[in-house]
Amino acid sequence: NDNYCRQQYMDDHVNNAALESAKMAGRYTALNLRNSSTIEFRLWRGTLNINTLRATLQMTDTLVRIARKRTLSWCAQSSWSDIAKYASRYTELAEYLESKNLN
């Protein structure tokens, strides 16, 4: 919902100029914000491993859940350990992070 995103930015005291600046960054950044009704994640490499694919989808879901619950300031100041603790809710993601020593 476009209004939800707009409200979150207002709640976090980020002005519209900052949002427009992010949109101007282009399609080929980690997050493509150029479309008015979608946010495109361009963070992940392709894989043929089903567990890696599941872990990737679970990490994307984790990031979205964090973004919805936390302020922009918290997200900007968070560390990997702050984010990784949310991953434990998913089996494949927790196993993937452990296999890469990222937990």
pLDDT, greater one: 13 or 33? 33
Whole-structure pTM value? 0.65
CA angle 96, 78, 100 (to 5 degrees): 20
Burial call 29-53: b when 16+ CB within 10 Å, e when fewer:
eeebbeeeeeeeeeeeeeeeeeebe
Over residues 39-76, the pLDDT tens digits come to 888 888 889 999 999 999 999 999 889 888 988 888 88
The residue among 10 and 38 whose pLDDT is bigger is 38
**What is the rounded average pLDDT of the residues 71-88?**
86
